[in-house]
Chain A
């Protein structure tokens, strides 16, 4: 359900762009998705097809670019890259990590005609 809302947000951005750039059709949408963004990629892909129907992006390909997760370790005070939200610090093994990046959810670009 959340992914459906996100796709409607994507559609809004695309339709705004379509008006300001004289876009006939969108062929590809590239979206950056952070490791910790909470987005279920298969659900996003499913919702994308459904929500784009009837828009300039109908039939467009959704390309998802994974963005790494980064966190500040409150034990060693280093910024580290982690794959898992609950992973320990790869430097010191500490368990108190505050995410600082990886919650991105951004449309990077559109391939259009």
Chain B
């Protein structure tokens, strides 16, 4: 993906941006953007200009975070969510941990609570299709070669979703325990999903994601008896990389632990809504 123009080769399914990405990655951005970042044009600045008397080497101190641009998009998303009193969860996990199934069951259990879903995957609209089958509005973001969702993609998706006041926004990130840890989307928190088939040492192998998460859902606990796993060791390893992490054992399939997860969600939304009302 291209963080210069921010759009990358990510696609919002069902939404033609109206600008063609005919640029090559030599980054001469001569293309016309059909959205609000039309002031980002490169290659026409002073770089190509002769500046007399400027041959001397000099040092420019910058002290700018490399993620500064993503962080600006994330902050904008966060402001929109705060204005709505909406609670956004960034669901992160490895592929196959059961994120989408868990999300479908969660949506069903939440009943008529307003919510929306952003689905991130490299390709296909399979997951958004599954979410829409529950009746919830969902938008698929295909990241193409990208390994994570970023603040810009989520901002666009949020515009299309028209979030309701006091709603939930579930962002199902690309199944990847590495890169999504580093990209703030403007969410209230990350929730890591870890299934019991993945091995107790998963948190130790991929500490960043579990350190960045407020809650870990230990999923597929119904399979634990067949997997020779130690659920307490899963929890101990999670707390070793993040002493403050909350852990809930769930099974999306049998419904075990789902009440605790739903209580956690509704409690978080109530607190967020109260904060918004107070401000």
- Can you name the residue of chain A whose Cβ is closest to the Cβ of B42? A15
**Chain B: which residue is nearest A19 at the CB level?**
B45
Closest Cβ of chain B to A50, distance in Å, is 9
Q: Which of B57-76 contact A (CB under 8 A)?
A: 57-70
Interface residues as binary, A36-50 with B (CB distance below 8 Å gives 1, 0 otherwise): 111000000000000
Residues of A within 8 A of B54 (CB): 22, 24, 113
* CB-based closest 10 A-B pairs: A19-B45, A96-B243, A8-B3, A74-B243, A56-B47, A2-B179, A9-B66, A109-B61, A54-B26, A110-B60
Determine whether the beta carbon of A98 is less than 8 Å from that of B55: no
B66–A6 CB distance below 8 A: yes
User: A residues 10-34 with Cβ under 8 Å of B?
Assistant: 10-13, 15, 17-19, 21-24, 27, 31
What does the 1/0 interface line of A70-108 toward B look like (CB < 8 Å)?
A: 000010000000000110000000011111000001111
A13 touches B240 (CB 8 A): no
Once the chains bind, are A24 and B47 in contact (CB under 8 Å)? Answer: yes
A12 touches B3 (CB 8 A): yes
- Docked-complex contact A12 and B57, CB < 8 angstroms: no
A48–B179 alpha-carbon span in the complex (Å): 18
A13 touches B47 (CB 8 A): no
The reply to whether the CB of A55 lies closer than 8 angstroms to some CB of chain B is yes
A18 cross-chain contacts in B, Cβ below 8 A: 45-47
Inter-subunit contact A36/B3 (CB<8 Å): no
A113 touching B243 by the CB < 8 A rule?
Answer: no
- Could you tell me how many residues of chain B have their Cβ less than 8 Å away from some Cβ of chain A? 51
* A106-B65 contact given A86-B240, A95-B240, CB 8 Å threshold: yes
Which chain B residues border A109 with CB–CB below 8 Å?
59-63
Q: Closest Cβ of chain B: how far from A34's Cβ, in Å?
A: 11
Pick the residue among B42, B45, B207 that contacts A86 (CB under 8 A): B207
Do A113 and B55 touch (CB < 8 A)?
yes
Once the chains are docked, how many angstroms separate the CA of A8 from the CA of B243?
A: 34
Q: A2-B179, A22-B51, A53-B26 are in contact. Are A106 and B60 (CB under 8 A)?
A: no
When distances are taken between beta carbons in the complex, the residues of chain A under 8 Å from B50 are 24
User: Which of B28, B147, B240 is the one whose CB lies under 8 Å from A2?
Assistant: B147
User: Which B residue's beta carbon lies closest to that of A27?
Assistant: B57
Chain A residues with Cβ under 8 A from B69's Cβ? 9, 12-13
Beyond A24-B46, A86-B204, 4 extra complex contacts between A and B, CB < 8 Å: A8-B3, A98-B244, A111-B57, A112-B58
